[in-house]
Chain A
Amino acid sequence: MKARPPGGPWLAIDIAAVVSVLAAFLLALFYAPTERTMGDVQRIFYFHVPSAMMAFLGFVVVMVGSIAFLATGSRRFDSLALAGAEVGFLFCTITLLTGPVWARSAWGVWWTWDARLSTTLILWLLYVAYLMLRGYMQGDVRMRRFSAVLGILGALDVPIVYFSVRWWRTQHPTTFITERGGLEPEMRATLLLAMLAILLLFVSLLVRRIALERLRAGRDLLRMEIEEREIAPAMGGGSDRS
Chain B
Amino acid sequence: MAGYAAAVLALIKKDLLSEWRTREAIGSMALFSLLIVVVFGFCFDARRVDLREAAPGMLWVAFSFSGVLGLNHSFATERQRGSLQALLLAPVDRSAIFLGKMLGNLLLLSLVEALTLPVFSILLRVRVLPCLPELALVTFASTIGLTAVGTLLAGMASSNRMREMLLPILLYPIWIPVLLAAVKATGGVLAGETLGQVWGWLRLILAFDLIFVTVGLLLFEQILEE
Choose from A70, A129, A157, A163 the contact partner of B169 (Cβ within 8 Å): A129
Give the CA-CA distance A129 to B165 in the complex, in Å.
Answer: 11
Give the CA-CA distance A132 to B215 in the complex, in Å.
Answer: 22
Choose from A140, A154, A163 the contact partner of B174 (Cβ within 8 Å): A154
List B contacts of A132 (CB < 8 A).
166, 169
List A contacts of B170 (CB < 8 A).
129, 133, 150
Q: How far is the CB of A131 from chain B (nearest CB, A)?
A: 11
Number of interface residues of B (CB under 8 A): 31
Summed over the interface, the residue pairs from A and B with CB atoms below 8 Å come to a total of 81
Interface residue ranges of B110-156 to A (CB < 8 Å) = 149, 152-153, 156
Choose from B173, B180, B212 the contact partner of A126 (Cβ within 8 Å): B173
Q: How far is the CB of A8 from chain B (nearest CB, A)?
A: 36
| Interface core residue of B159, B170, B212 (most chain A CB under 10 Å) | B170
Interface residue ranges of A155-172 to B (CB < 8 Å) = 156-157, 160-161, 163-165, 167-168
The 7 sampled A-B contact pairs (Cβ below 8 Å) are A133-B156, A133-B170, A136-B166, A146-B159, A152-B219, A157-B177, A164-B181
Additional A-B contacts beyond A160-B207, A164-B176 (8; CB < 8 A): A70-B219, A122-B173, A136-B160, A146-B222, A150-B156, A156-B212, A160-B177, A167-B200
Which B residues fall within an 8 A CB radius of A?
A: 149, 152-153, 156, 159-160, 162, 166, 169-170, 172-174, 176-177, 180-181, 184, 200-201, 204, 207-208, 211-212, 215, 219, 222-223, 225-226
The 8 closest A-B pairs by CB, nearest first: A164-B177, A125-B173, A160-B177, A146-B156, A126-B173, A157-B174, A145-B222, A161-B177
